[in-house]
């Protein structure tokens, strides 16, 4: 009996020690989990802290770049001299390079563009009868600009045929912007689209709106036809589209000192004179010894039979500008794009987006 009692007591002691061991293992496992969770949270907090610091630093860099750009543009406007890329705003990229060389672990790059180097879509619309003739002249330029882009993207026809189809789109653009009534055929077409999107009756505010417009004379029901129209508008195969030459800000005048080659080509009525005219303008502007004052281009216009535009359509100064900035903090990059107009005392950014 005593032997049995001893064996029972031993088994009981072993059971208690086993229970304690299991409890200890549970506690150790729990501590390990807590330690891992704490380590993970610590690493996560560190990562978030690093990211937050990076975002904050990038934001401060972009803000500083925007303030510097505003200072440069205000000073430029105060000078009241012709605007061209040889001015201080045109050398803004080099200024940022010098500043970035003084930064530790950060970089700020970017450039300023003349917004009046683009074709002003808003100039196609008018509110007062006195503005109608000006809008009509801008419409003729738009048609020639679009036709040139169409030919560039493989339009099946000559330039004259392209101009006719471009005129059809111009008519649709006017309906979209409320400058012309919506005809019944166009109304039926818009109602048949999914989702339905009728013309808003005001000038387009986003480039995406051009993709929603009807283009009479072209097949928009066929997938290949829609793809080609999209390519003409947005660009593709390494070629620029129409929207790359447009601005939705301001109403002109365009700046002959900075006007993009495609828009320069739109000034020419005779297709045979386009290449020679654009090259002559580019050669004169690129020569740093030439002054780009009022009327410097008159002789070139006359030599290539290009109609002279009034001062409210073509000028040598600008008040609208576009700013591009990229702030790099470690592996992180943030970008800013802004468009605004300038006075002698302040810069008013009308559009501003940070990515």
DSSP annotation of 83: -
CA distances from 329 to 51, 52, 129 (A): 10, 11, 53
pLDDT of 33 over the 80 cut: no
Give the residue-averaged pLDDT of 260-274: 97
Per-residue model confidence as pLDDT tens digits over 215-244: 998 988 889 999 999 999 999 989 999 999
> How long, in residues, is the chain?
355
Q: What is the DSSP string of 13-57?
A: HHHHHHHHHHHHHHHHHHHHHHHHHHHHHHHHHHHHHHHHHHHHH
- Residue 30: per-residue pLDDT: 44
Q: What is the DSSP string of 220-263?
A: -SSHHHHHHHHHHHHEETTEE-GGGGEESS----EETTT--HHH
Higher pLDDT, 191 or 106: 191
The least confident of 133-142, 217-226, 345-354 is: 217-226
H or E element, residue 303: helix 298-303
- Residue 12: per-residue pLDDT: 52
Per-residue model confidence as pLDDT tens digits over 153-202: 999 999 999 999 999 999 999 999 999 999 999 999 999 999 999 999 99
- Residue 57: per-residue pLDDT: 67
- Residue 211: per-residue pLDDT: 96
Higher pLDDT, 159 or 8: 159
The least confident of 14-23, 55-64, 195-204, 268-277 is: 14-23
What is the torsion angle, in degrees rounded to the nearest 10, for the CA atoms of residue 35, residue 40, residue 41 and residue 42?
A: 90
Give the residue-averaged pLDDT of 110-118: 97
pLDDT of 147 over the 60 cut: yes
pLDDT of 275 over the 60 cut: yes
pLDDT of 261 over the 80 cut: yes
- Residue 91: per-residue pLDDT: 95
Token pair for residue 315? 């000028």
Higher pLDDT, 180 or 14: 180
Nearest to 167 by CA among 211, 124, 227, 226: 124
pLDDT of 139 over the 90 cut: yes
- Residue 14: per-residue pLDDT: 52
Per-residue model confidence as pLDDT tens digits over 71-99: 999 999 999 999 999 999 999 999 999 98
pLDDT of 52 over the 50 cut: no
| ∠ Cα 69 75 80 (to 5°) | 130
Give the residue-averaged pLDDT of 329-352: 93
- Residue 302: per-residue pLDDT: 97
d(CA 16, CA 156): 93
């Amino acid at each position: 009996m005593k032997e049995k009692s001893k064996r029972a007591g031993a088994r009981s002691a072993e059971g208690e020690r086993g229970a304690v061991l299991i409890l200890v293992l549970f506690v150790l496992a729990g501590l390990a989990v807590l330690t891992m969770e704490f380590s993970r949270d610590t690493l996560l907090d560190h990562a978030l802290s690093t990211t937050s610091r990076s975002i904050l630093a990038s934001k401060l860099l972009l803000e500083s770049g925007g303030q510097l750009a505003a200072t440069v543009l205000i000073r430029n406007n105060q000078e009241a001299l012709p605007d061209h890329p040889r001015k201080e705003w045109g050398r803004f990229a080099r200024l940022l390079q010098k500043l970035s060389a003084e930064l530790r672990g950060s970089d700020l790059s970017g450039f300023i563009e003349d917004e009046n180097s683009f074709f002003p879509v808003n100039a196609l619309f008018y509110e007062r009868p006195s503005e109608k003739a000006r809008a009509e002249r801008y419409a003729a330029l738009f048609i020639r600009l679009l036709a040139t882009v169409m030919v560039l993207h493989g339009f099946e026809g000559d330039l004259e045929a392209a101009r006719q189809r471009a005129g059809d789109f111009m008519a649709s653009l006017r309906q979209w912007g409320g400058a012309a009534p919506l005809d019944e055929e166009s109304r039926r077409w818009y109602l048949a689209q999914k989702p339905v999107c009728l013309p808003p009756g005001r000038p387009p505010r986003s480039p995406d709106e051009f993709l929603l417009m009807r283009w009479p004379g072209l097949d928009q029901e066929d997938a290949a036809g829609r793809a080609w129209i999209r390519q003409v508008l947005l660009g593709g195969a390494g070629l620029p589209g129409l929207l790359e030459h447009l601005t939705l800000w301001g109403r002109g005048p365009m700046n002959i000192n900075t006007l993009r080659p495609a828009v320069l080509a739109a000034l020419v009525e005779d297709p045979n004179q386009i290449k020679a005219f654009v090259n002559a303008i580019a050669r004169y502007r690129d020569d740093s010894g030439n002054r780009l004052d009022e009327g410097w281009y008159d002789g070139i216009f006359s030599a290539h039979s290009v109609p002279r535009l009034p001062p409210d359509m073509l000028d040598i100064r600008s008040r609208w500008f576009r700013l591009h900035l990229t702030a790099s903090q470690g592996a992180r990059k943030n970008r800013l794009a802004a468009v605004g107009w300038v006075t002698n005392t302040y810069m008013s950014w009308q559009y501003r987006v940070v990515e």
